[in-house]
Chains A and B, each alone.
Chain A
Amino acid sequence: MSTDTRNPLVRAESSALERVAGGVLAVSVLVFALSWATTFEWLRMGDHVAGLPMVDWFGVANLLMGGALVTVGLASWVGLVDTSPSDEAGFVPGIIFGAMGLATGFFVVADWLDAGALAGLGAGVLVGIAAVAATVVPREDLGSTLVPGSGALLFGGLIAFDVLTVDWWFAPTWWSMRFVGYWAIPIGTSLVALLTVWSAGKARSGFGTAGRQTGAFALIGLNAFGMLSILTLVIAYVVSKGLPMLLEGASLAGGTLSLGPLSLPWVQLPFVTNATGSIFVDVPGVMPAVMGTIWLVVGAILLAVPLGVGAAVFLTEYAERGRLTAVVEIATNGLWSTPSIVYGLFGFAFLLPRFADGGSNILSGQLVLGFMLLPLVLITAREAMLAVPDAQRDASAALGVSKWETIRSVVLPSAAPGIVTGVILGVGRIAGETAPILLTIRASNFPRSSPGVIEGFRFVGSPPFVTNDALLQGASALPLQLYTTIQAGQSPRPSEFSFSEFGWGVALVLLLVVLGFYAIGIASRIYFRRKIRS
């Protein structure tokens, strides 16, 4: 009786296996991060850490991970530690390891040793079969540690014995690139670390079904962490590169704000407030592009919100499900998935000739972006209206008011938060679009002045009676300004600011504008959800 009471579900203290495997898991996650840091050149391959060059540390890390995995697997197999492995490691790891073995064998023999494709294929198949057998045949504890462990030992050994060095390179015949030790060692190590994360995760929970869960969850969690890291990296990189340009000549109280006769000290940010191509400013700025983006967004909203909300009202409140709604759904999904460059072509062929005799103009850009925004507004507005409970509509109808009055005073107010957040997020998306406005509003690479839309309206005696020269001329916008800078290959003031200095500055302002819309949209959604729940 006394031997059967040890129930793993209620075991309180951690076993030696859990500590060792947990340690390996933590180390492999760290190695994964460090190997990417080396790929990104934050850590240099030539650096010496504690007297040892970086590349040797990669050898050590691989040997350590491999040795630990094999040890844990063997310890579990001979019964030194208490585990509950299944009979075999399963098909999926077998196939993955087999494919890796096949690729490695083929690569080494056919291309590196130059023995021809046939010999390579033979070697690949042999290694592949061996990997599959080592995974599938033995019990799970050996099957899921042997292959990654020995792979890590092999890789680490090659580095330790200077077969793979920083300067090692190899040019495969089927790709016009070179594997160079400089990046192949860290990237290879990151792959080994991934396998180790999985394998050590399994071992930590004693293999078996619990082990499989831990192994899989560790990989999936690492993936989510990786995605967030990419996002953070992209934003941090643009900020760090663009900040010097954005703050060029900036001061907290150096500018003036004139309110009628009063003139107050104000923030000065020449990169945002100056014209781009003007020779009269010290710092070339992005004001024309900022104004262009503002006018594009305003025009797109004015077009898309009434159309989208109106169509959503019709679809959810008036129309019976039938042929018309089916057609509208097809059109909406079609508009949603139409590539942005196709919108550009549409504006180019359809709108440009009708507004400015085929020349670029802001109005066409506004309409094209509005058409892109339309499906986003329609879909979110429809979802928001469908989420309004029918009981509210019935209660209103029971008061004897007409259908439209119910929509106006019950449905639309309840759906408004959802619609507003949808519009904000949609605007964030179209504000960053380049391709459609490239074909419709592009004028000069570095505009000298902002479009004067408000003062541009004129009444004339013949149709169309109202015209606006500013709207009928080309302009710039933030994403377009970045693209034209890249295409010009230089900044508007090549003698003082380099192409990439100016480019990163534009990219930062663009990112701030777009992510600002997203932040407001997401925050307002969270706010409205909380309000509804409470």
Chain B
Amino acid sequence: MTTASGIRGLIPLNDGGRFVWAVGGLSLLAFFALFMLESSLAALPFFAFVGTALYGWVRHQSATALGLSLVTTLVTVTTFGLIIFFLVEEAWPALEYEGLGLLLDQDAGWTFSQTGPSSFTLLPMIYGTVAVTVVATLVAAPLGVAGALFISEIAPNWAREIVKPGIEIMAGIPSVVYGFIGFVVLNQYMYDHMGLVGFGNFFIVGVVVGLMSLPTVVSVSEDAIASVPDEMKDGALAMGTTDWQTMKSVTVPAAFSGVSAAVLLGIGRAIGETMAATIMLSHVKDIPNPITDVFRNGETLTSVIAFEYGNAGTLHLDALFASGVVLFVTVMVLSVGSQLIERRMDQKLGGDR
């Protein structure tokens, strides 16, 4: 445990501090174990921990503060671990039951039976999520990057003071409100004027979800564009280029990895977006033919969970958790990808600082 000794090296722990650490640590471990076992006795060690922390705070504040900050850090990591564990644990029976067919079988349908055999596949939902995400990306990526360029490079001060908080507030509009507008206004409009067969379609959900992930793309790529050192831009401007030429050939290429990380994060947001799809789609589990027909109704990985968790039997629920696993894994791959890209960008731009 190199970290522990490194931490211990920071502060000379006296006997009292060591006592607080030992009792606090043990009671926390006991609490965690009992809580996992669903025992109501878990409250006992929890109170013991709180008591120890209070005592330590009064008598050995430095040691206790360090200990508590370490505990909070560990709790953060543990939470993430627990999310992964419970997601996979609950999804496991469904994964075992259908195997890879869960992701690939076209004809498995979505039937769950307490007595007879069940047969289900996530393929239609994966299609739905892909369709929505593609449309959303086509909306959010170009508009978002252009918006970031405007804020960080083009806008005069007064305009920036308006647009930047505006984008931030846009991120605050709850998805259920977007969904309600889409359900009441957009679905109706498209039904009235576009000759659709029913209410709701992937295209309009994609547009709405794209608007929702727009703020993420704008603010993250704005950070990337703003982090390009002024020296690089000044060099280009000193050669007599216009501002736009500098942006096109220096700023955006230098910030390219950061901008693509922003787009990846935006895609991740779009994939995980739940309420708009749940409210606006009518939950048919079909893959349209031809598959380019995004004006059809359907289901996404997120909407199936929100719509069906309430009256799902055991295996059905496990299948919904499997849908959550697919979502989680996809979003994590995007998130890690964008982090790697950002790190590369930091190294590239940090080199000449």
Q: Give the B-binding residues of A (Cβ under 8 A).
A: 169, 171, 174-178, 180, 182-183, 209-210, 212-213, 216-217, 219-221, 223-224, 226-228, 230-231, 234-235, 237-238, 306-311, 313-315, 317-320, 322-324, 327-328, 330-346, 348-350, 353-354, 371, 374-375, 378, 402-405, 407-408, 425, 428-429, 431-435, 438-439, 442, 462-466, 479, 482-483, 486, 500, 503-504, 507, 510-511, 514-515, 517-519, 522
Does the CB pair A339–B90 fall under 8 Å?
no
User: Looking at B176, B193, B241, B328, which has the most chain A CB atoms within 10 Å of its CB?
Assistant: B176
What is the distance, in angstroms, from A240's C-beta to the closest C-beta of chain B? 12
Interface status of B83 (Cβ within 8 A of chain A):
yes
Interface status of B163 (Cβ within 8 A of chain A):
yes
Does the CB pair B176–A224 fall under 8 Å?
no
What is the distance, in angstroms, from B90's C-beta to the closest C-beta of chain A? 5
Q: Give the A-binding residues of B (Cβ under 8 A).
A: 2-3, 6-7, 10-11, 35, 38, 40-44, 46-47, 61-62, 65-66, 68-73, 75-77, 79-83, 86-87, 89-90, 143, 146-147, 149-151, 154-155, 159, 162-163, 165-181, 183-185, 190, 193-197, 201, 211, 214, 218, 241-245, 265, 268, 271-275, 279, 288, 290, 292-296, 302, 305-306, 309-310, 320-321, 324, 327-328, 331-332, 334-336, 339
Does the CB pair B73–A213 fall under 8 Å?
no
Does the CB pair B331–A324 fall under 8 Å?
no
Supply 13 A–B pairs (Cβ within 8 Å), ascending by A: A178-B194, A180-B195, A227-B167, A227-B214, A307-B72, A317-B69, A318-B70, A345-B86, A345-B87, A345-B320, A428-B172, A432-B172, A518-B169
What is the distance, in angstroms, from A248's C-beta to the closest C-beta of chain B? 19
**Within 8 Å CB of A432, what residues of B?**
172-177
B interface: dominant SS: helix
Alpha-carbon distance A340/B174, docked complex (angstroms): 12
Which chain A residue shows the least CB distance to B35?
A354
Does the CB pair A342–B40 fall under 8 Å?
no
What is the distance, in angstroms, from A362's C-beta to the closest C-beta of chain B? 18
Does the CB pair B166–A228 fall under 8 Å?
yes
**Within 8 Å CB of A332, what residues of B?**
76
**Within 8 Å CB of B61, what residues of A?**
404
Decide yes or no: A183 and B194 within 8 Å by CB, A314-B73, A345-B321, A507-B180 being known contacts.
yes
Alpha-carbon distance A482/B185, docked complex (angstroms): 16
**Within 8 Å CB of A433, what residues of B?**
174-175
Alpha-carbon distance A375/B335, docked complex (angstroms): 14
Alpha-carbon distance A311/B78, docked complex (angstroms): 12
What is the distance, in angstroms, from B270's C-beta to the closest C-beta of chain A? 10
Which chain A residue shows the least CB distance to B302?
A341
Does the CB pair B77–A210 fall under 8 Å?
no
Does the CB pair B90–A349 fall under 8 Å?
yes
**Within 8 Å CB of B290, what residues of A?**
174
Does the CB pair A339–B296 fall under 8 Å?
no
Other-chain residue from A176, A212, A328, A517 in contact with B73 (beta carbon distance below 8 A): A328
Does the CB pair B154–A221 fall under 8 Å?
yes
Decide yes or no: A350 and B155 within 8 Å by CB, A176-B296, A522-B169 being known contacts.
no
**Within 8 Å CB of A378, what residues of B?**
76
What is the distance, in angstroms, from B145's C-beta to the closest C-beta of chain A? 10
Alpha-carbon distance A151/B320, docked complex (angstroms): 50
Alpha-carbon distance A144/B130, docked complex (angstroms): 36
Does the CB pair B242–A482 fall under 8 Å?
no
Does the CB pair A227–B272 fall under 8 Å?
no
**Within 8 Å CB of A517, what residues of B?**
172
Other-chain residue from A223, A226, A307, A327 in contact with B75 (beta carbon distance below 8 A): A307
**Within 8 Å CB of B214, what residues of A?**
227
Alpha-carbon distance A177/B187, docked complex (angstroms): 13
What is the distance, in angstroms, from B166's C-beta to the closest C-beta of chain A? 5
Other-chain residue from B174, B245, B268, B294 in contact with A209 (beta carbon distance below 8 A): B245
Q: What 15 additional pairs, Cβ within 8 angstroms, besides A175-B294, A334-B80, A432-B176?
A: A177-B201, A212-B245, A227-B163, A227-B218, A306-B72, A310-B71, A311-B69, A328-B77, A331-B81, A339-B272, A339-B328, A378-B76, A432-B172, A438-B306, A507-B177
Other-chain residue from A209, A342, A350, A374 in contact with B272 (beta carbon distance below 8 A): A342
Other-chain residue from A210, A335, A353, A402 in contact with B80 (beta carbon distance below 8 A): A335
Decide yes or no: A213 and B44 within 8 Å by CB, A342-B328, A353-B38 being known contacts.
no
Does the CB pair B295–A176 fall under 8 Å?
yes
Alpha-carbon distance A227/B212, docked complex (angstroms): 11
**Within 8 Å CB of A209, what residues of B?**
241-242, 244-245
**Within 8 Å CB of A503, what residues of B?**
180, 184
What is the distance, in angstroms, from B312's C-beta to the closest C-beta of chain A? 11
**Within 8 Å CB of A324, what residues of B?**
3, 73
What is the distance, in angstroms, from B80's C-beta to the closest C-beta of chain A? 4
Does the CB pair A314–B69 fall under 8 Å?
yes
**Within 8 Å CB of A465, what residues of B?**
43, 47
Other-chain residue from A238, A339, A438, A518 in contact with B172 (beta carbon distance below 8 A): A518
Which chain A residue shows the least CB distance to B41?
A463
**Within 8 Å CB of A171, what residues of B?**
195
Does the CB pair A224–B163 fall under 8 Å?
yes
Does the CB pair B293–A174 fall under 8 Å?
yes
Does the CB pair A346–B83 fall under 8 Å?
yes
What is the distance, in angstroms, from A504's C-beta to the closest C-beta of chain B? 8
Alpha-carbon distance A464/B181, docked complex (angstroms): 45
Does the CB pair B62–A402 fall under 8 Å?
yes
Does the CB pair B174–A500 fall under 8 Å?
no
Does the CB pair B184–A500 fall under 8 Å?
yes
**Within 8 Å CB of A176, what residues of B?**
196-197, 288, 293, 295-296
